[in-house]
Amino acid sequence: MATLTQIERALDALGDPTRREVFKRLRNGNRSVREVADGMNVSRPAVSQHLGVLKAAGLIAVRVKGTRRLYGVDPHGIETLRSWLDGFWNETLLAFKQEAEKEAMKGRKLR
């Protein structure tokens, strides 16, 4: 079970537009810092810092392959965030169900 701190850390990490772009570049597989930074208007050291924040937030994982470090999306971090967001949907559906049941009861009383 994820703590609220973990969720907040993930949301904070994705709150930065450059960091979101870095994260999006990892959607299709593992990449090195150089591969992530190619075509971006930020330096490789800056990309490394963004990757560090995303890693600390549990959204990406690092894999060492020889002398290279490859970064990729951590499915556990995504699932944690998704589960938290799904909770809002579940609460909304429950509230809708309760209101629908109240309206149904009103309709029965009027008959």
Cα-based distances in Å from 98 to 27, 84, 93: 39, 22, 9
The CATH number linked to 15 is: 1.10.10.10
Q: Is the pLDDT of residue 1 over 60?
A: no
Q: Does the pLDDT of residue 63 top 80, yes or no? A: yes
Angle at 49 between CA 53 and CA 19, to 5 degrees: 60
- Look up the pTM and report it: 0.78
At 24 the pLDDT is 97
pLDDT above 90 for 38: yes
- Name the least confident of 25-29, 30-34, 87-91: 87-91
Give the residue numbers spanning the domain of 104: 4-110
pLDDT tens by residue, 81-93: 998 888 888 777 8
Number of domains, the chain? 1
